């Protein structure tokens, strides 16, 4: 009979396990993201609303002075809507290559040039070139996509609130456009009105060039204005939200969600 002894215990240490410990947020110095919210709101509100709403207010005077009909007026505005929305894909590519600050400042300058061309227009062609083409490209590159991207880059926990607040500037400023344009028509003419909006676009280009920063890291800050404290020996991404964007433009436009948003955008703009 052979006695079987118990197997010898291994002298090697047990496997090292890591437990993810939540990182405690620590408030950093004044968070520049709140400045970004204000700047993005001003750029969106004053960059979009005066251009968008003033066309219909100035249109009756334009038709009389240039001798064009309402069909031409609708064609100019419809072309503007189509162009500023269609350039969205190119705006994203430009932001990735040149950065938000340069794209926004350049877009506002293009808008200003377009409105100055419009202010000197003598035919419908000048309206199409100044308002539809240059104005549409400029507004597309300076307002909606850049403003939303700023909100995404600087905020995570309050992202929905911040983006909503940025776009709310458009409605607030829009309420001021009609009385301001009416005053211009009563005391001056539509050409001076477009010149004034062009000057406003140049001021917004200056604001974007001076105040816009791409991300919190550019100023040594963290997303949402908080930073992790303590050391954690873990690679778990659940401990602290790390924003990574694995999407490419090609991948995004192939998704059904993109197609749905495109249909909704067209349904919003065309009527």
Whether 110 is covered by a domain: the verdict is yes
Whether 28 is covered by a domain: the verdict is no
Whether 237 is covered by a domain: the verdict is no
What's the pLDDT at 21? 40
- The partner residues of 24 in beta bridges, in order of sequence, read 229
**Cβ proximity of 74 and 271 under 8 Å:** no
What's the pLDDT at 2? 46
Separation of alpha carbons 47 and 205, rounded Å: 9
What's the pLDDT at 236? 39
Degrees (nearest 5) of the Cα angle 133, 138, 144?
120
The distance of Cα 240 from the centroid of its chain, to the nearest Å, equals 26
What's the pLDDT at 252? 82
Whether 245 is covered by a domain: the verdict is no
Separation of alpha carbons 21 and 234, rounded Å: 8
Instruction: Assign residue 182 the CATH number of its domain.
Output: 1.20.1250.20
10-residue averages of pLDDT along the chain (271 residues): 46 45 54 95 96 95 91 92 88 91 97 97 95 96 94 93 95 95 95 97 97 92 78 41 63 88 80 73
Select from 71, 66, 25, 98 the least CA-distant residue to 189.
Answer: 66
Q: Are strands 226-229 and 24-27 parallel, antiparallel or unpaired?
A: antiparallel
Domain count, the chain: 1
Separation of alpha carbons 108 and 97, rounded Å: 18
Domain that holds residue 205: 40-217
Whether 6 is covered by a domain: the verdict is no
Whether 244 is covered by a domain: the verdict is no
Whether 256 is covered by a domain: the verdict is no
Whether 91 is covered by a domain: the verdict is yes
What is the 3 state secondary structure string of 93-154? HHHHHHCHHHHHHHHHHHHHHHHHHHHCCCCHHHHHHHHHHHHHHHHHHHCHHHHHHHHHHH
Count CB neighbours of 66 within 10 A. 15
């Amino acid at each position: 009979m052979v006695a079987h002894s118990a197997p010898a215990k291994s002298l090697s240490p047990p496997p090292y396990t890591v437990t993810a410990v939540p990182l405690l947020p620590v408030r950093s110095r004044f968070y520049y993201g709140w400045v970004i919210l204000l700047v993005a709101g001003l750029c969106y509100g004053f960059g979009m609303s005066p251009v968008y709403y003033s066309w219909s207010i100035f249109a009756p005077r334009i038709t009389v002075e240039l001798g064009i009909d309402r069909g031409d007026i609708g064609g100019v505005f419809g072309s503007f809507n189509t162009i500023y929305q269609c350039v969205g894909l190119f705006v994203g590519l430009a932001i990735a290559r040149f950065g938000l600050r340069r794209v926004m400042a350049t877009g506002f300058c293009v808008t200003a040039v377009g409105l100055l061309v419009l202010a000197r227009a003598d035919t419908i062609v000048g309206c199409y070139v100044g308002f539809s083409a240059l104005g549409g490209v400029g507004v597309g590159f300076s307002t909606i996509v850049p403003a939303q991207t700023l909100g995404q880059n600087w905020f995570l926990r309050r992202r929905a609130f911040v983006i909503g607040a940025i776009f709310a500037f458009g409605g607030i400023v829009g309420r001021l456009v009609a009385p301001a344009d009416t005053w211009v028509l009563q005391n001056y003419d539509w050409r001076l009105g477009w010149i004034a909006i062009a000057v406003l676009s140049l001021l917004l280009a200056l604001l974007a060039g001076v105040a816009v920063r791409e991300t919190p890291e550019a100023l040594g800050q963290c997303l949402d204005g908080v930073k992790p404290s303590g050391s954690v020996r873990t690679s778990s991404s659940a401990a602290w939200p790390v924003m990574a964007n694995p999407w490419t433009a090609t991948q995004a436009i192939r998704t059904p969600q993109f197609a749905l948003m495109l249909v909704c955008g067209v349904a919003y703009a065309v009527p």
